[in-house]
Amino acid sequence: MNNSELQELISSWFPNPEVTTSEVVKENQETSDLSTEKDEEKITAKEVVNSGLLSFTEEGSEFLTIVVKPEHLHALMNQLKSNPKTRFDYLYCLTGMDWGKELGIVYHLESTVYRHQLVVKVNTEDRENPVFDSVCDIWKTAEFHEREVFDFFGIKFNNHPNLKYLFLTEEWEGYPLRKDYVDEVNMVIK
């Protein structure tokens, strides 16, 4: 499955409530005299996707990247793993990110069945209490990755079975991988 086919499939899981199927069919019928079947598919995919929930890009890489709203993260991830057409059964990287204004997570997924890969990003502007749903019930390997992100970025995960410090001590103050972190004692300044 190539990236555009993958995008079309994933888009169908989050339909745009403002566009009904009958409207898309009607629009396709009206344009069928002037367009080819390929054009109809483009119109359908563009109209049906709910851009408020998902956005897609390839960002100059070989991987399709999905940016998802935090409230839809778990549903998307569950569907990516369990859907027989995608079967993303391998979470090979989960990375905390500080983009300055926003904190977030980047997930790298692979299907060992179909050999396709995907990147999923989620972010929040809430730097005081950043919280996302845990995916460790979907991929067990996420349990330690999420603990590491909690340690270094202060991002909490709903429904995590054992969210506690992995590397840092309980007495540690701040989150060392955030861009606004300052430690006068341990900072190396050149």
Six-digit token string for 93: 């990287």
Task: Flag whether pLDDT at 28 surpasses 50.
Answer: no
Burial of 135 (0-12, 13-18, 19+ CB in 10 A): buried
Residue boundaries of the structural domains of the chain:
51-158
Positions of E strands within 28-144: 54-57, 64-68, 90-98, 103-110, 117-124, 131-133
Contact between residue 88 and residue 79 where contact means Cβ atoms under 8 Å apart = no
Burial of 94 (0-12, 13-18, 19+ CB in 10 A): buried
**What integer pLDDT is reported at residue 189 of this predicted model?**
64
* Residue 91 bridge partners (DSSP): 109
3-state secondary structure 133-183: ECCCCCCCCHHHHHHHHHHHHCCEEECCCCCCCCCCCCCCCCCCCCCCCCC
pLDDT, greater one: 17 or 86: 86
Six-digit token string for 157: 């995960």
Task: Flag whether pLDDT at 156 surpasses 60.
Answer: yes
Task: Flag whether pLDDT at 24 surpasses 80.
Answer: no
Task: Flag whether pLDDT at 40 surpasses 60.
Answer: no
| CATH, range 51-158 | 3.30.460.80
